[in-house]
Amino acid sequence: QKEVEQNSGPLSVPEGAIASLNCTYSDRVSQSFFWYRQYSGKSPELIMSIYSNGDKEDGRFTAQLNKASQYVSLLIRDSQPSDSATYLCAVMQGDSSASKIIFGSGTRLSIRP
């Protein structure tokens, strides 16, 4: 079992619709979770971080965390063509003295006009 799993896609969503991206993780004691967006040929950029169960909203983006189910998701409302990118889920493992962040392999999102 991979430590952080994502559906590789591509996920195709019509412009203006809601895009839903999902991620599961294996380490039950993980406390910090992140979503990054990566455009082709560029480095990842942080979209959202989430640390406690529930929803966290930032503009058109909502991150959802369920630690009991070891599941984290990202919703993108009113999807725009500029949202077309690969979305990476990341989970921090270990304590602060020896922590590292594990990345999923990413979900490719395509917003069709």
Partner 1 sequence: DGGITQSPKYLFRKEGQNVTLSCEQNLNHDAMYWYRQDPGQGLRLIYYSQIVNDFQKGDIAEGYSVSREKKESFPLTVTSAQKNPTAFYLCASRSGYTDTQYFGPGTRLTVL
Closer of 42 and 77 to partner 1 (Cβ): 42
- Amino acid (1-letter code) at residue 63: A
Please state the closest distance from residue 17 (CB atom) to partner 1, in A: 25
Please state the closest distance from residue 16 (CB atom) to partner 1, in A: 28
Tokens of 15: 């412009």
Q: How far apart, in Å, are the Cα atoms of 108 and each of 32, 88, 96?
A: 23, 9, 31
Please state the closest distance from residue 112 (CB atom) to partner 1, in A: 21
Please state the closest distance from residue 95 (CB atom) to partner 1, in A: 11
Closer of 12 and 32 to partner 1 (Cβ): 32
Beta pairing partners, 45: 37
Tokens of 39: 């455009």
From first CA to last CA, the distance across the chain in angstroms is: 36
- The site for partner 1 (CB under 8 A) is made up of 32, 34, 42-46, 49, 88, 90, 92, 96-106
Closer of 15 and 53 to partner 1 (Cβ): 53
